[in-house]
Amino acid sequence: MTKHFIVRRAEIVRGLRRQIAIAGVWAVLLVCGGCDNTSILDDGFRGTPTAGSARSFRMGFSPFPHDQTTEAVDWVNGFLAENADVVAHYLEGVPWTEALAGMPYDPDLDRDWERERSADHPNSKSFVAMTPIDWGRTTLAAYRAEAEGLPLPPAFETATFDDPRVISAYLTHCLRAIEFFEPDYLCIGIEVNELFHQSRAEWGAYVELHQAVYTALKRAYPDLPIFISFSLQNMLNVGWEDRGEMLEAFKELMPYSDFVGVSFYPFTTLLSSEVESVFIWLRTEFTEFGKPFIISESGETAEPIVISALDVEIPGSEPQQESVMASILALADTVDMEFVIWYIPRDFDAAFERIRGEVPDFFRVWQHAGLIDGAGAPRPAFAHWDRHFARPYVPVDTQR
């Protein structure tokens, strides 16, 4: 069967949107207010697991390929088969019209889902993440049909999140994704805290949608873990004066989330040297809910990134990436962590060169966040990943 694969511009925008949503954020050095200087490493270890010791969390990536070729797809699928026991699928955009009417989806979406599912392997769990919120975290997700990022259909142009048609269509879309992917984990809202900041007037309507969809899905699939995520770096963004209210608003949704879902890209807000303090904050604020943690996506650049159009240089180095990786894995060993996702397996230098003339310069933000560099060589951070992944996986419940 001929493989179908295109690295779509919209797909890359989805990945990079969080880094560029607010241009001024690059110049702000974030500090975890109220955190002391205690390191999470006092409670565990940093990248040096005891030989043969079990890990209680799964480890995985997205099947994001480094080039627009079937060879790149084969490479990433093989990499996941050897280095992941959970595979993450991120499905942005909603086929609003088709979902509402119960019509078949566009063949392009079907092919995209088939490509995503091809990355699953017998020894992995499947994690699907979807959202009713757009890339800018301001309003309804863009329409998905023959392509991503299409304008909303007329019936949805002025609809709010709590519109019965929106709730019905999104619920149907979630149900179809469950039927197709048969996921072991489902996220139904990605970085939802940012909607509170970007479009606070929409928050109440979103809460109504989320509660309705979560409740209906749990009724249909009571054993399927379902949750939402928040962007950790922006929950602590000192440039966002509403961050305290944003935190409390998100916490009010925790009864409708089976996990504490976290998206974390510290380099995007210059938090890379503050990761340990950030994780102290995370534990302090969310342990009270008694729910396992999930790092539903994460990443760190291994090289400096220069964005000439914005006159910005984002610091980055392999030691910095290695340090962030070590801290993430140390956190996973010290809390009840279900799984950790590192979004980019390999730098997409080749893909970026193909689209360089078609996209803005700031698309390079994520280019060097892979654990494997563009030439295919493992970075030092990958050695930490490899040592932890080699440990036998034993779920927390089994260890008790």
- The per-type count for the chain, helices as H runs and strands as E runs, is 14, 11
Residue 395 burial (CB count, 10 A): 13
Backbone phi and psi for residue 97, each to the nearest 5 degrees, phi listed first:
-65, -50
Predicted local confidence at residue 10, as pLDDT = 41
Query: Which of 183, 188, 157, 190 shows the shortest CA–CA distance to 172?
Result: 188
Give the model confidence (pLDDT) of 357-390 as tens digits: 777 777 788 899 999 999 999 999 999 999 999 9
Query: Which of 121, 127, 146, 131 shows the shortest CA–CA distance to 91?
Result: 131
Strands 293-298 and 86-91: unpaired
- Please say whether the beta carbons of 373 and 379 come within 8 A: yes
Predicted local confidence at residue 31, as pLDDT = 33
Q: Work out the end-to-end distance of the chain between its first and last CA atoms, rounded to an integer number of angstroms.
A: 46
Give the model confidence (pLDDT) of 71-93 as tens digits: 999 999 999 999 999 999 999 89
Predicted local confidence at residue 398, as pLDDT = 62
Q: Which residue has better confidence, 3 or 245?
A: 245
Query: Which of 100, 108, 15, 21 shows the shortest CA–CA distance to 66?
Result: 15
Strands 125-130 and 86-91: parallel
What is each CA distance from 383 to 317, 325, 388, in whole angstroms?
A: 15, 10, 9
From 164-178, 200-214, 297-311, the region with the lowest mean pLDDT:
297-311
- In the three-class reduction of DSSP (H, G, I as helix; E, B as strand; rest coil), residue 375 is classed as coil
Quick one: which H or E segment has residue 113? helix 107-117
Per-residue pLDDT band at 150 (split at 50, 70, 90): very high
Whether the per-residue pLDDT at 252 is higher than 50: the answer is yes
Q: Which pair of structure tokens corresponds to residue 323?
A: 């340090």
Nearby residues of 290 by Cβ (< 8 Å), 6 or more positions away: none
Phi-psi label, residue 156: left if phi above 0, alpha if psi -120 to 50, beta otherwise: alpha
Threshold 0.85, pTM exceeds: yes
Give the model confidence (pLDDT) of 204-218 as tens digits: 999 999 999 999 999
Percent with pLDDT over 90 in the chain: 78
Per-residue pLDDT band at 29 (split at 50, 70, 90): very low
Nearby residues of 32 by Cβ (< 8 Å), 6 or more positions away: 236, 274, 277, 278, 280, 281
CATH number assigned to the domain with residue range 9-399, chosen from the 4 options 3.30.870.10, 3.20.20.80, 3.40.1160.10, 1.20.1050.10 = 3.20.20.80
The separation between CA 164 and the C-alpha centre of its own chain, rounded to angstroms, equals 28
Residue 27 burial (CB count, 10 A): 10
What is the spatial distance between Cα 191 and Cα 148, in angstroms, rounded to a whole number? Answer: 19
